[in-house]
A and B are shown apart, each in its own frame.
Chain A
Amino acid sequence: GAGVSQTPSNKVTEKGKYVELRCDPISGHTALYWYRQSLGQGPEFLIYFQGTGAADDSGLPNDRFFAVRPEGSVSTLKIQRTERGDSAVYLCASSLGGDGNYGYTFGSGTRLTVV
């Protein structure tokens, strides 16, 4: 597609539930990144994929968070046993190359609210 697409744009879930957030990167972009942006803060890195593999998952806060990119394009961020503190905007970005020299294109984000 023309840009990075994230679905859903908004998600409200109950505490303890499981959620999946989807990111469809720009076609041909091999690198994909997930960020979390809490209210009033800058985005915080979660995980980086190069192709199908997670090259850096050092930003995942705990083992309730997991992400996959099985075919090297679409990625899904999965959050188990959601907590109110998980409420944030989850941003996805993609890049043509893994070294970032080609720039990053961000999606519009998924606003997750845990009630």
Chain B
Amino acid sequence: AQKITQTQPGMFVQEKEAVTLDCTYDTSDPSYGLFWYKQPSSGEMIFLIYQGSYDQQNATEGRYSLNFQKARKSANLVISASQLGDSAMYFCAMRGRSYNKLIFGAGTRLAVHP
């Protein structure tokens, strides 16, 4: 079965510091993709970063990077230089080759303090 686990219901970080949001996954598909989305209080799901299972390099997008450890089945999101606007819910999600849909974790609420 495919499953995403986010073990941190809430995280706090000081502005300008880095923070890591944890994500572990389980899948039997040899090929899969991992996504991170941000959901502010307004409700829209904003795509942040994508990592393919066969990608050799860890994905990076501006202040976001994905620490992909395939053997450990983890895909942690690292946000560098946190900003107040980063306060939101963050969801890790997975898509496998055998299924055309995203499986989401329960999310982590990040609060950035000034």
Interface positions of A (Cβ within 8 A of B):
31, 33, 35, 40-45, 48, 50, 55-56, 59, 89, 91, 93, 98-101, 103-109, 111
Contacts and interface: CB of A to CB of B under 8 A. Distances in A.
B43 A109 contact: yes
Given A98-B100, A100-B33, A42 B107 contact: yes
Interface in B11-29: none
A53 to B, nearest CB: 12
Interface string B82-114: 000000000101010101111111110000000
Interface of B: 4, 33, 35, 37, 42-45, 47, 50, 91, 93, 95, 97, 99-107
A109 B46 CA distance: 12
A35 B37 CA distance: 14
Contact of A43 (B42, B50, B99, B104): B104
A99 B47 contact: no
Given A100-B33, A100-B95, A108-B42, A56 B100 contact: yes
A45 B43 contact: no
